[in-house]
Amino acid sequence: NRQILLASRPFGAPSHDNFTLAQTAKPSPKQGEVLLRTVYLSLDPYMRGRMNDAKSYADPVALNEVMVGGTVCRVEESKHADYQQGDWVVSFGGWQDYSISNGVDLLKLGNDISNPSYALGVLGMPGLTAYMGLLDIGQPKAGETVVVAAATGAVGSLVGQIAKIQGCKVIGIAGGTEKCQYAVDTLGFDACLDHHSDELATLLAKTCTDGIDVYFENVGGKVFDAVLPLLNPKSRIPLCGLISQYNATELPDGPDRMSSLMGTLLVKRAKMQGFIVFDDYGHRYGEFNKAMMTWLSEGKIKYKEHRVEGLENSVSSFIGLLEGKNFGKLVVRVGPD
Ligand code: NDP
């Protein structure tokens, strides 16, 4: 059983030295448990926060413990009445080949599924995040302008497409020409701007001719600086993530911009609301799943995976996720079906 452990806590960007690969015996399930074999491992930005020794909405990973992560697995051996060998399940097995579960954290996928890994993306945690953050907090209305960053990623690509389904004008912000081209040509966004450009703020102002009604916040930093002056009265900001800051070790240089932020929120009567997807919206998974399955089957939602082969490539892929190297939902193929 190969396991990737947290060896040390990063200061700034994580490096290979922060992880170790361990070999242990395959675990054995006790009565009431199942042995799971990992087929797919999801790599997600929140894992960076779990590497810190800081209290957050979830506990940190302890040193020399297996890195946490959502997985799609097959039941290899069952001593649990509800599961049989061969069942496909979604679990939280972490960065390893095998894990044990007592069934409480498992979701059955059924045995006749064409894309099991979708349960980690478009039909799973990132999908629910996009759907609930946009529709429940963002409250987009037809004709409004919605801006989303990390626009071709797991969450952002879905936010923009759901906003198009609602009849909105959608402006993406992404890293590089290829991603921006994809957002417009394949995802159907009205425009997409490259955040590497020095002209981002000017270009965004030119593109958002009617201001911004909903800004779905995934990245923070200079992208938010470009968005802030364009917010319309009564605009909504679902505060989902701040990936540009996850490796930061101190506050940015320059003048304190807190009063300018608060002043804008006040004058524009804007609403900014954070959310943690499963804590706030786990109970609405059924509603989301039904809507997303329908959109997928109708071809209204396109979904792109960035698939990596082999557990041994998880560390470099995760480091790359925080640098924008993924193009689509990052999923590691750990073992065969
Ligand atoms: P993505 O698949 O979008 O991958 C991350 C992307 O972030 C990169 O590809 C890159 O895209 C972008 N990025 C990385 N660094 C920077 C930077 N410095 N400036 C601007 N963009 C950057 O990830 P997810 O869709 O899984 O996650 C998106 C956000 O949603 C994250 O902030 C995550 O933490 C958050 N999230 C929050 C949840 C919640 O419950 N609140 C649940 C799930 C996700 P590009 O090359 O286009 O810049």
Domain 2-121+303-333 classified CATH 3.90.180.10? yes
> How far, in Å, from the CA of 153 to the mean position of ligand 1?
7
Kindly report the protein residue whose alpha carbon is nearest to atom 7 of ligand 1: 150
CB half-sphere exposure, 229, CA atoms < 13 A: 12
Q: Within 13 Å and on the Cβ side, how many CA atoms surround 143?
A: 0
pLDDT tens-place values along the chain, 337 residues long: 999 999 999 999 999 999 999 999 999 999 999 999 999 999 999 999 999 998 888 899 999 999 999 999 999 999 999 999 999 999 999 999 999 999 999 999 976 688 999 999 999 999 999 999 999 999 999 999 999 999 999 999 999 999 999 999 999 999 999 999 999 999 999 999 999 999 999 999 999 999 999 999 999 999 999 999 999 999 999 999 999 999 999 988 888 889 999 999 999 999 999 999 999 999 999 999 999 999 999 999 999 999 999 999 999 999 999 999 999 999 999 999 9
Residue with tokens 């892929």: 317
Ligand 1 atom closest to residue 276's alpha carbon, by position in its atom list? 40
The answer to whether the complex's ipTM is over 0.95 is yes
* Gap between the terminal Cα atoms of the chain: 17
Measure 8 CA to ligand 1 centroid, in angstroms.
23
Q: State how far the Cα of 27 lies from the Cα of 66, in Å rounded to an integer.
A: 14
Structure tokens given for 69: 């992560």
CATH architecture of 125-278: 3-Layer(aba) Sandwich (3.40)
Q: Given this model, what pLDDT does residue 252 score?
A: 83
Q: How many CA atoms lie within 13 A of 46 on its CB side?
A: 19
Domain pair 2-121+303-333 / 125-278, same fold: no
What span, in angstroms and rounded, lies between the C-alpha atoms of 15 and 135? 37
- Neighbour tally for 295: CB within 10 Å: 18
Ordered by start, the domain boundaries in the chain are: 2-121+303-333, 125-278
Closest protein CA for atom 47 of ligand 1: 174
Q: Which of 234-253 are b and which e, b meaning 16 or more Cβ less than 10 Å from the residue's Cβ? A: ebbbbbbbbbbebeeeeeee
Q: Is 179 in the pocket of ligand 1 (CB under 6 A)?
A: yes
Q: What angle do CA 189, 193, 198 make, to 5 degrees?
A: 175
